[in-house]
Structure 1
C-alpha cells in the first residue's frame, strides 16, 4: 500500500490537489467570512439560519437543524424552503467513482474485554439498533441505521417535510457515497496529520500540492512504523515499493495525472430532471 503517488496512493495526485484547491477557492470566495474559523460542529447548523443559498457538501449541513419549525428556512406549513439535490462533481470524477461521504459505524467487541462486559456491550448494541429505538433516534437526528426505518410508513408520511432526504436514502444514489474508511490502519493518527496539513493549505502557508505531498509522506511514515512493529499482524499495511510516479499515472484507475483542462464547460440541469437519478 501507499499514500503517495510513487507508491500507488492518490493523496497527492492531481485530483486531490484539484479538490483542495476548489475547497479553498469556494471557502474564500463564496462562504461567510466567519466560516474559515468554524469547526465542523459550528458550521453544521449555519445553513438553517437562512443566509446560505447553496451548500455544496451535504455532510456539513445538519439536516435536523434545517427542519426546525420557525427557522428562516422553513415554511409555515412545516415544509422546507430548501431541497436536497444529487451531489455535484468536478473535472476528475468518472463513472463509478464515489461522489459523497457519510459516517457508517459498526460495533467492535475486543477479545481483551472481560466476558461479562462484552456480553453487556452486546446486549446494549442490540437495544441501540433495534427497530423501535432506531425509528425514534432517526426521527430526532435524521441519521439512519436500519433499512426498515428508511422504508417505514412513518418516514413515507414525513418525507414531504424532509426536502428529499428519504427519497435519497431509498434510491441507489446512496451507494455512490463512501462510508467511513474501515481499512485505515490508524485512524486517530492519520486524521491528525490530515488536519495539520490541510490547515497549512487553507492558511496559505503551503500550496495544495505542497500540503498533500507532506501529508502523504507523513502518513507513509506512520504506516511504515505499524508494518515494522507487526502490531496489526496480517491485516496491517504492507508498504509498496517507491517507483517513478509516472508508472502509476500511466496505469488505469487511481492515482490520476493532471488534466489539460480542469474547467470543462458546465451544464445546467433542471432540479426535476436531476432528481430522476434517484429513481430506483
Structure 2
C-alpha cells in the first residue's frame, strides 16, 4: 500500500489543475483527479503516474447538484491529506446578460463547491491533526472597485468577482478558525495565466504567467502554511498593508455615532 499522502484536485483536466497534478505528483502525493472530461483526465493522469503517483480518476460536473454531491461524498471518505478546489468558469458578462440558469450553475461551481468540499473533508483532517485546504481564486477578487487597470477597461465580471471574493473571505476566515489544529487553509490568487481559460485569451500575451509557475507557487505556499498566495506579487508587504486597511475599516467604522457625512442636512 502506498504511504504517499493523497490530494484531491478539482478541475484537473487542463490548465492550472493539470499543472497542480504534475507538481504535487513530483512533490510526493498520490492523486484523485476530478473533472468532467475523462479523456483529458486520463492524459493528465498518465503524466502524473510517470512521476510516481498513483492516480484515481473521478468524473463529476461540480456545477450540478448531483456532481457536487458525488464529489463531497468522495472528499468525506477520510483518506485525503489535501483538498485543492481549482475548478471554475469565467462567465464574463454583465449581470443583466447572464441567463438565470447560468447564475446558479456558475455560482455553484465558483463559490459553493469549495465550501461544500471543504465541509466534507474537514472532519477527517481535524481527526488526523494534519493536512490542508487549498482554494484557487483570482486577483479579480480584489477588483470590485476598478473600472480600468492601467487605462485598460476591466472585463464584465460581476458574478465571477463576487464568487472569487467569497472564496478569498471563506479561506482566510477558515485559516484563522483552524489555528492550532495542524490543518492549514490557503487561497491562491493568480493574475492572468496562459491556459485555455476564457477561450485561451491570455495565451501568447506578454506579462502572462504559466500554469506551471502558479502550481509551483501553490506548492511552496502549502509547505509554508501561507494563507494568501499571490504567485506574481513581489512585495509580500502589500498583503500586510491590505490587512491593516481592513483592520482600520472594521475598527473605525464600528461606532455608535453616525458619521459626519451621513448626518441629515438642514432643509
| Structure having the higher Rg | 1
TM-score in terms of structure 2 length: 0.29
Structure number with the higher strand fraction is 2
Select the structure with the greater relative contact order (CA < 8 A; seq sep ≥ 6). Answer: 1
